[in-house]
């Protein structure tokens, strides 16, 4: 009887001792991080969150959990240890021996453009018998920009050709072989003749030459995302952003300078989108501006666009993408019609809500969803 009691006391003592040991040292010299694998990806592309946990001491960790939360618009391929409500909550379990490091890649697909971040992670440890849990919160600073998908609507090919035709009336489409403008990353559709093989070998990245045109007429994209209809069409707005991304990409690869304005604000500065054509914008910069558009913060048309769009001294070719044809927006466009200016207007559908196109404006209108 005394022997059993002694064994019981020793066992209890060892149990309490190990629990106290883990309570005091479980997170000592434990290093953990959570980070997006990429800084930016296109909508619909796969990527991953990289989880790293390292135990730099002899004491093993029988169980340690890494918890974090992010947007539910990131669809993780492995649902184990996750929970989805208004946010996505991830809970991954690790088992580490002494002086062991584990790196885990958790894959996901970005279902929607925007900016996503992880700001905090929790480490949850336990003792050998998992009789108690210990929690430590760690700051995280990792973000991901999801660029809009360059969705190639069939109608956009006709729009691109039409805009090229309008450009040809003001500038030559033949590039100047004696004028070198710089290098840029290879884009799908670029000619092999433009590849600078020497620079590509030096940087281990496929680069193409950019040449100036004899005369360049910039294209100015105006994105009117004010949705003041009875029915809200967020899917239309996303498609318009994708259409702007597609056209911008086509013109960028063609060597045309691009401007971008929108009455929608970005989610960081809370100011309307503006990108000037004074310089050739970086393609990633342009895509980032489209990615950061906040559809919950859209200004009235007349506060973002005015008649200076059709100024006589402007050499820019306007292309408007609009969800609706508001009276003030129609008035602005009719100013361009009566002034004899070249431009195109892209609307979602000819069967839009209460859509009536003035006869003089009809030749300038194209529809995203062909009917």
Question: Would 260 be classed as within a structural domain?
Answer: yes
Greater model confidence, 50 or 205: 50
| Domain match, 251 and 293 both | yes
**Tens-digit pLDDT profile for residues 236-249:** 999 999 999 999 98
Question: Would 5 be classed as within a structural domain?
Answer: no
pLDDT value of residue 174: 42
Count structural domains, the chain.
3
Helix (H) or strand (E) holding 11: helix 2-25
| Domain match, 229 and 343 both | yes
Task: With a cut of 80, say whether residue 281 has pLDDT above it.
Answer: no
CATH number at residue 247: 3.40.50
| Domain match, 207 and 295 both | no
Pair of tokens at residue 361: 């404006």
Domain stop point among 131, 147, 163: 147
Torsion angle of C-alpha atoms 145, 109, 91, 97, degrees rounded to 10: -90
**Tens-digit pLDDT profile for residues 348-369:** 986 655 678 999 999 999 999 8
Q: Report the distance separating Cα 116 and Cα 73, nearest Å.
A: 9
| Domain match, 249 and 294 both | yes
Question: Would 349 be classed as within a structural domain?
Answer: yes
Confidence at 173, pLDDT banded by 50, 70, 90: very low
**Tens-digit pLDDT profile for residues 37-77:** 999 999 999 999 999 999 999 999 999 999 999 999 999 98
Q: Report the distance separating Cα 161 and Cα 105, nearest Å.
A: 43
Axis-axis angle for helices 154-168, 234-254 (nearest 10): 40
Greater model confidence, 34 or 168: 34
* SS3 state at 304: helix
| Domain match, 239 and 354 both | yes
pTM, 2 dp: 0.80
**Tens-digit pLDDT profile for residues 69-105:** 999 999 998 877 788 888 999 999 999 999 999 999 9
| Domain match, 61 and 185 both | no
Q: Report the distance separating Cα 17 and Cα 5, nearest Å.
A: 18
Task: Check if the beta carbon of residue 112 is closer than 8 Å to that of residue 42.
Answer: no
**Exposure b/e, 25-42, CB count within 10 A at least 16 = b:** ebbeebebebbbbeebbb
β-partners of residue 47 are 108
Phi, psi of 235 (to 5 degrees): -65, -35
Greater model confidence, 191 or 136: 136
| Domain match, 271 and 357 both | yes
Using only the alpha carbons of the chain, give its radius of gyration: 29
| Domain match, 301 and 158 both | yes
Question: Would 24 be classed as within a structural domain?
Answer: no
Range of the domain at 200: 180-213
Task: Check if the beta carbon of residue 259 is closer than 8 Å to that of residue 220.
Answer: yes
Q: Which of 40, 312, 318 is nearest to 163 (CA)?
A: 318
Q: Report the distance separating Cα 368 and Cα 56, nearest Å.
A: 58
| Domain match, 143 and 158 both | no
Question: Would 276 be classed as within a structural domain?
Answer: yes
Helix (H) or strand (E) holding 41: strand 40-42
DSSP state of 197: H
Helix (H) or strand (E) holding 278: none
Q: Report the distance separating Cα 227 and Cα 264, nearest Å.
A: 11
CATH number at residue 68: 2.60.40.10
């Amino acid at each position: 009887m005394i022997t059993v009691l002694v064994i019981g006391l020793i066992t209890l003592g060892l149990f309490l001792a190990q629990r106290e040991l883990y309570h005091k040292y479980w997170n000592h010299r434990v290093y953990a991080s959570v980070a997006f694998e990429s800084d930016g990806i296109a909508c619909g592309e796969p990527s991953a969150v990289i989880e790293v946990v390292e135990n730099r001491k002899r004491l093993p960790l029988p169980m340690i959990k890494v918890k974090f939360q992010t947007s539910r618009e990131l669809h993780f391929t492995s649902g184990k240890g996750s929970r989805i409500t208004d946010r996505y909550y991830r809970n991954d379990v690790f088992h580490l021996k002494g002086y062991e490091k584990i790196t885990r890649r958790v894959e996901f697909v970005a279902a929607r453009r925007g900016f996503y971040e992880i700001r905090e992670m929790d480490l949850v440890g336990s003792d050998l018998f998992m009789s108690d849990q210990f929690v430590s919160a760690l700051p995280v600073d990792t973000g991901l920009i999801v660029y809009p998908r360059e969705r190639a609507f069939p109608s956009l090919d006709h729009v691109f050709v039409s805009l090229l035709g309008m450009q040809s009336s003001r500038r030559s489409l033949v590039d100047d072989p004696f004028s070198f403008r710089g290098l840029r990353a290879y884009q799908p559709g670029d000619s092999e003749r433009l590849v600078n093989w020497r620079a590509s070998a030096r940087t281990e990245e496929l680069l193409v030459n950019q040449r100036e045109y004899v005369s360049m007429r910039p294209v100015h994209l105006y994105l009117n995302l004010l949705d003041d209809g009875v029915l809200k069409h967020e899917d239309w707005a996303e498609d318009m952003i994708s259409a702007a991304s597609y056209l911008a990409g086509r013109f960028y690869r063609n060597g045309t300078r691009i401007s971008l304005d929108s009455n929608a604000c970005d989610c960081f500065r809370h100011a309307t989108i503006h990108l000037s054509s004074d310089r050739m914008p970086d393609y990633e910069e342009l895509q980032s501006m489209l990615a950061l558009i906040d559809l919950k913060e859209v200004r009235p048309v007349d506060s973002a666009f005015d008649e200076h769009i059709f100024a006589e001294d402007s050499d820019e070719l306007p292309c408007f993408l609009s969800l609706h044809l508001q009276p003030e927006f129609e008035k602005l466009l009719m100013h361009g019609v009566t002034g004899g200016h070249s431009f195109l207007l892209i609307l979602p559908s000819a069967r839009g809500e209460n859509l009536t196109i003035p006869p003089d404006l009809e030749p300038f209108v194209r529809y995203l969803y062909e009917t």
